[in-house]
Amino acid sequence: MTERLQIARAAAGIIRLGSQQLEDILASEGINPQEAAAVLREVFCESDPGGGVLGAVAQLLTTAAGTADRLDADGDGDASCPLQEAAGFIAGATGDRVYAATRVLDPEGERTP
């Protein structure tokens, strides 16, 4: 395995660990709606869509799409288009749904920086 792949594997492990930490917080006893909404805003925040976890994943997929486009021998977009679409779904529909949930859990929290 190359050093580049070792770094990628380690980075993916860190992402999974962070995701598990967020899950543990959300599943913890005594969490209130405002806290749950605050955790979800770390995943996606309407005021800074690119700044949350989903924004980072969308950017990763966009970068992967650019790489796939550059590496695809026939350049027909068979590799890059699905990645671009996935990034769009995450940044759009998925983010919108997380935002809707935070609004229900803590409508006043949107005013808090």
Q: Give the Cα separation of 21 and 16 in Å (integer).
A: 9
Tens-digit pLDDT profile for residues 64-112: 999 999 998 887 889 999 999 999 999 899 999 999 999 999 998 866 5
In the predicted model, is pLDDT for residue 38 greater than 70? yes
Joined tokens for residue 69: 């486009």
pLDDT at 21: 98
pLDDT at 77: 86
pLDDT at 53: 95
Query: Tokens 């990645």 map to which residue?
Result: 83
In the predicted model, is pLDDT for residue 50 greater than 70? yes
Domain ranges for the chain: 32-107
pLDDT at 74: 87
Q: Give the Cα separation of 65 and 58 in Å (integer).
A: 10
